[in-house]
Amino acid sequence: MRTILNISVPAEVAAEAKRAAKADGFASVSEFFRYLLREEKRRNLARSLRQQDKKGEWKKLHSLRDLR
């Protein structure tokens, strides 16, 4: 089920979003914003994984045998 989300942005931002969506081949500005949100989620996951790696919470595997 979809929910409509309305946002208010300055005219320049709306125009830029429309230009970017069209230039990148998105069917609509909505599709463009959904893509941006998915990318933000992906970046947050990558950041979390890097933090876990820095804390030494990961074991480096040298081969599939190391999974045992």
What are the helix and strand counts (H, E) for the chain? 2, 0
**pLDDT at res. 63:** 86
**pLDDT at res. 2:** 86
What is the Cα 54 distance to its own chain's centre?
22
CA torsion sign, 19 to 23 to 28 to 34?
A: negative
**pLDDT at res. 14:** 97
pLDDT for 9-67, tens place per residue? Answer: 999 999 999 999 999 999 999 999 999 999 999 999 988 888 877 777 777 778 888 77
Helix, strand or coil, per DSSP, at residue 30: helix
- Per-domain residue ranges of the chain: 29-55
What is the token pair recorded at 38? 């998915």
